């Protein structure tokens, strides 16, 4: 009986944490935290942050852990660069963003309301991808040719 109560308490604690955001690879709900400025253009405070939490589906929040990179005033989030589905259409958060681009991202305990805009090729895409590969120490020579990597710029709403 004691083992059952311990497991139930642990499960309840995990569910409570997930309600405030994702827990590792397990998606969560609405992100908690102080709301940052709507027109933030200085992301330097997050330069040492490894992983951010991205919330989609404003009416029924769904949040995931994700990589990100800041380049000057711009903030970028990629689809999976090394793990998970190779086709971005198979990622739940991507499907959500295609239906409604309003997202929220939590960095260093602060939540920023943004609009996800897909960057489709060109110099901006190349700069963002290169910065992501550098930040996460990925060798461009080892790219998986079958993996599609989409990059979203998170603009002010």
Residue 93 confidence class, pLDDT cut points 50, 70, 90: very high
Mean pLDDT of 72-96: 95
Q: Count the Cβ atoms, other than its own, within 10 Å of residue 7.
A: 10
**Mean pLDDT, rounded, of the chain:** 90
pLDDT computed for residue 111 by the predictor: 97
For the segment 40-51, what is each residue's pLDDT rounded down to a tens digit?
Answer: 989 999 989 999
d(CA 32, CA 52): 13
pLDDT computed for residue 18 by the predictor: 45
pLDDT computed for residue 23 by the predictor: 82
107 near 63, Cβ under 8 Å?
no
d(CA 27, CA 94): 13
pLDDT computed for residue 21 by the predictor: 82
For the segment 11-48, what is each residue's pLDDT rounded down to a tens digit?
Answer: 545 444 444 688 877 889 999 999 999 999 899 999 89
If one counts the domains in the chain, the total is 1
Residue 86 confidence class, pLDDT cut points 50, 70, 90: very high
Helix, strand, coil percent content, the chain, rounded in steps of 5: 30, 30, 40
Q: What is the pTM of this model?
A: 0.85
Domain boundaries, position 109: 2-156
- List strand residue ranges (DSSP E) for 18-131, in order: 34-35, 52-56, 62-66, 69-71, 74-78, 102-107, 110-119
Strand partners, 75: 70
Q: What is the CATH number of the domain that holds 117?
A: 2.30.110.10
Between the alpha carbon of residue 1 and those of residues 6, 9, 10, 11, 119, the distances in Å are 9, 12, 14, 15, 54
153: nearest Cα among 111, 117, 122 = 117
Mean pLDDT of 81-103: 95
pLDDT computed for residue 6 by the predictor: 62
């Amino acid at each position: 009986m004691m083992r059952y109560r311990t497991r139930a308490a642990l499960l309840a604690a995990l569910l409570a944490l997930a309600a405030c955001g994702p827990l590792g690879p397990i998606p969560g709900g609405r992100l908690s935290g102080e709301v940052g400025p709507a027109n933030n253009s200085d992301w330097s405070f997050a330069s040492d942050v490894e992983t951010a939490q991205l919330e989609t589906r404003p009416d029924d929040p769904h949040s995931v852990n994700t990589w990100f990179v800041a380049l000057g005033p711009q903030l970028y989030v990629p689809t999976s660069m090394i793990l998970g589905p190779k086709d971005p259409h198979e990622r739940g958060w991507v499907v959500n963003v295609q239906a409604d681009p309003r997202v929220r991202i939590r960095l260093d305990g602060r939540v920023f309301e943004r609009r996800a805009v897909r960057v489709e090729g060109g110099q901006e895409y190349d700069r963002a991808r290169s910065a992501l590969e550098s930040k996460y120490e990925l060798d461009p020579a080892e790219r998986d040719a079958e993996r599609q990597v989409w990059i979203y710029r998170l603009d002010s709403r």
